[in-house]
Amino acid sequence: MEEIFPGVFRKGKRIFTENLRPGQKVYGEDLLREGGKEYREWVPYRSKLAAAILKGLKIFPFKKGTTILYLGASTGTTVSHLSDIVGKEGVIYAVEFSERMMRELLDLCEKRPNIIPILADARKPKEYDWVGEVDVVYEDLAQPDQTRILIKNAEMFLKPGGEFLIAIKARSVDVTEDPKKIYRESKDELSERFEVIQLIELEPYEKDHCIILGRFRASP
Amino acid sequence: MLFVTANEIGIFALNREKRIVAYSLFPKDPEEVLRRLKDVKEGRRIKELEDVLTELMNLRVENIVTDIPFKDENFHIEFKKDLKVGAELRRNLRDIAVKVGFAKNHEEFTRFLSKVQILRTREKIRRSVKKDKVAIQAISALDELNDISNRFIERLREWYGLHYPELGKKVKDHEKYSKLVSEKGHRENFEDFKGSMGIDLDEPDIEAVKEHATVTYGIYLLRKRLSDYVEEVMNEVAPNTSYLIGPHLAARLLALAGSLEKLAKMPSSTIQLLGAEKALFRHMKGKGRPPKHGILYHHPSVINSPKDRRGKIARIIASKIAIATKTDFYTGEFRGKEYREDMEKKIKEVLGE
Ligand SMILES: C[S@@+](CC[C@H](N)C(=O)[O-])C[C@H]1O[C@@H](n2cnc3c(N)ncnc32)[C@H](O)[C@@H]1O
């Protein structure tokens, strides 16, 4: 096991996080014991962040103790790995508006107390304005107005100099348009408010998806 | 002047400089905390609030601005639902909880807040699932009130018409008519009653019809309030469907289906015929033509269109309802605007506009 980022381990072609709840799987991933520790495989076909890591993500803004605002938590596949990484000292505020997804996410929260569930629409950050300042904003909503939602949330919650990651699903913006053009437009829109660090296309793990990594410049 | 605010760890009083001057902490039990927050929100005095107020008395504080609705003769109190100072305190709760000794460290506080949020979220899901039943009762009550008010006003107009028939022609609005009769009673109390063709009535006769008018007017007021209430509940239960076809028609569909879940799982062809079951059975027994619409007949775009287009339009509306109810049931996200725009566009096409 080689630690390639804080809390992220590589063995051969696969990556892992150290299991916060040994013995328990979250979405059917493989468990691996080594050196007295248990690791969970982080499957790039299931989690876009894992795909981004394998495709050469330059900066990994998570470590023990990081506070994260996560928009579009779904049932918690990616959230569970971030929960492994930030550990008990960190927090993940997990926003999800679908009740059906939330029911499953709540079961995960019961087992991992560093996840704080929030049933709300990410378009209305006022509803969870009690969250306060966070180190990182992560967004994966698959919505046509996803970049606008990110900007709104980052302005409200992201600390100056904090990083954000956003997954862009080209087909949810425009089905007919060339994905590359949509990525570029999203990137341009984000560049107006943020310093964009990297754009990573997720092929072959996810078709027509990319992740954009950036940093928040405090508004003057 | 001091600010008094409630949050997940207790009751706090802050001064203008946003410094905490007094506080009383809740027990570190998520269920207990939620119960107390509910209590203060509903105006009940809880121990922690008493603690803080006693301290403020000792400090000789007179004016309080607060996000907690409570009354106290010892202070001059201004209630503010969105108290900025309170919101700011909540944003820093992680640090404050540790500082005031509610939690040993951030880790312990996070664990606590996670439990609070889990309970809150479960409660929210539970409530939103059941509230469709409330909407169904309310719309049924509203429909009954419609019937009742019609019968009452018919009787009132006929009855009072014996005495002052001219008023009936002058005042067409039922609510206004019942209000006038209940206030004025004898026709002599109207300015231009002279020359009325009605019969004269004695005081006891007038009293009796006046009382009937008062009840009738009351029913109209009740109906209006209930109608607003249905709208409110429906916007919560099914915001997309309510925006698409109006909250009342949406509620009637809900009542016919039995629950939001059932409605969300119906194919649009079934939705199109909800409320036309009788006609459908008649048709299946070989009598009469197949129905083209059920309760959707009452949608303005159906009722106001030429007869030969109504079926097509009802089908367009039903298919959008099928989408809107699914969004309401499965995600709760609001997309009603785009649904309606799309529906209206399609209807226009059918009408050749
Ligand atoms: C592509 S999935 C996210 C998958 C997840 N990030 C993972 O990797 O495990 C998108 C999720 O965002 C949710 N979502 C979409 N729009 C939303 C909004 N406006 N507010 C909150 N959640 C939203 C959806 O219900 C869905 O669960």
Out of A89, A100, A109, closest to residue B118 by CB: A109
> Which tokens sit at B295?
């309760």
Q: Which of A57, A34, A107 has its CA nearest to residue A211? A: A57
The strand pairing partners of B23, in sequence order, are B12
The residue segments making up the domain with residue B76 are: 2-103
Q: Collect all residues of chain A within an 8 Å Cβ-Cβ radius of residue B118.
A: 106, 109-110, 117
Give pLDDT, residue B353: 74
Nearest CA in chain B to A132: B91
Return the CATH number at B266. Answer: 1.10.246.90
The interface predicted TM-score of the complex, written ipTM, equals 0.93
The tens digit of pLDDT for each residue in A96-110 reads: 988 878 988 999 999
> Which tokens sit at B224?
């209006």
- Is residue B110 one of the residues assigned to a domain? no
Return the CATH number at B54. Answer: 3.30.420.220
For chain A, what is the total number of helices (H) and then of strands (E)? 6, 12
**Alpha-carbon distance A47 to B69, whole Å?**
46
Residue A95 Cα to ligand 1 midpoint, Å, equals 8
Give a three-class secondary structure readout of chain B: CEEEEEECCEEEEECCCCCEEEEEECCCCHHHHHHHHHHHHCCCCCHHHHHHHHHHHHCCCCEEEECCCCCCCCCEEEECCCCHHHHHHHHCHHHHHHHCCCCCCHHHHHHHHHHHHHHHHHHHHHHHHHHHHHHHHHHHHHHHHHHHHHHHHHHHHHHHHHHCHHHHHHCCCHHHHHHHHHHHCCHHHCCCCCCCCCCCCCHHHHHHHHHHHHHHHHHHHHHHHHHHHHHHHHHHHCHHHHHHHCHHHHHHHHHHHCCHHHHHCCCHHHHHHCCCHHHHHHHHCCCCCCCCCCHHHHCHHHHCCCHHHHHHHHHHHHHHHHHHHHHHHHHCCCCHHHHHHHHHHHHHHHHCC
Out of A89, A99, A132, closest to residue B128 by CB: A99
> Which of B85, B93, B110, B237 to mutate: most A Cβ within 10 Å?
B110
Return the CATH number at B206. Answer: 1.10.287.4070
Give pLDDT, residue A2: 94
Task: Report yes or no: B91 at the A interface, CB cutoff 8 Å.
Answer: yes
Written out in words, the top-level CATH class of the domain with range A43-216 is alpha beta
Strand order in the sheet with B2-7: B20-25, B10-14, B2-7, B63-66, B76-79
- Is residue B252 one of the residues assigned to a domain? yes
What is the number of domains present in chain B?
3
> Which tokens sit at A115?
């996840």
Give phi and psi for B107, each to the nearest 5.
Answer: -55, -45
> Which tokens sit at A89?
């000292």
- Is residue B122 one of the residues assigned to a domain? no
**Alpha-carbon distance B114 to B15, whole Å?**
30
The tens digit of pLDDT for each residue in A64-121 reads: 999 999 999 999 999 999 999 999 999 999 999 888 789 889 999 999 999 999 999 9
- Is residue B69 one of the residues assigned to a domain? yes
- Is residue B167 one of the residues assigned to a domain? yes
Give pLDDT, residue A218: 62
Contact map slice: A 120-159 vs B, CB within 8 A: 121, 129-133
Q: Which of B236, B257, B279 is the last residue of a domain?
A: B236
Task: Report yes or no: A97 at the B interface, CB cutoff 8 Å.
Answer: yes
Give phi and psi for A181, each to the nearest 5.
Answer: -70, -40
> Which of B37, B117, B265 to mutate: most A Cβ within 10 Å?
B117
The tens digit of pLDDT for each residue in A126-171 reads: 999 999 999 999 999 988 899 999 999 999 999 999 999 999 988 8
Residue ranges of chain B with per-residue pLDDT less than 70? none
Q: Are residues B250 and B231 in the same domain?
A: no
Residue A71 Cα to ligand 1 midpoint, Å, equals 7
Distances (CA, A) of B7 to A73, A213, B86, B231, B279: 25, 35, 8, 31, 57
The pTM of this model reads: 0.72
Q: Are residues B52 and B147 in the same domain?
A: no
Q: Which of A80, A30, A61 has its CA nearest to residue A211? A: A61
Q: Are residues B167 and B198 in the same domain?
A: yes
- The conformation of residue A219, written as its DSSP 8-state character, comes to P
* Residue A219 pLDDT grade (very low, low, confident, very high; cuts 50, 70, 90): low
Q: Mind telling me how many Å the CA of B13 is from chain A's nearest CA?
A: 18
Q: Where are the domains of chain A?
A: 43-216
> Are the CB atoms for B256 and B238 separated by under 8 Å?
no
Put residue A98 in one of left, alpha, beta given phi > 0 → left and psi -120 to 50 → alpha: beta
The strand pairing partners of B11, in sequence order, are B6, B24
* Residue A21 pLDDT grade (very low, low, confident, very high; cuts 50, 70, 90): very high
Q: Are residues B141 and B88 in the same domain?
A: no
Q: Are residues B246 and B225 in the same domain?
A: no
Q: What percent of chain B has pLDDT over 70?
A: 100
Residue A169 Cα to ligand 1 midpoint, Å, equals 12
- Is residue B40 one of the residues assigned to a domain? yes
Q: Are residues B229 and B288 in the same domain?
A: no
Q: Are residues B146 and B189 in the same domain?
A: yes
> Are the CB atoms for A96 and A105 separated by under 8 Å?
yes
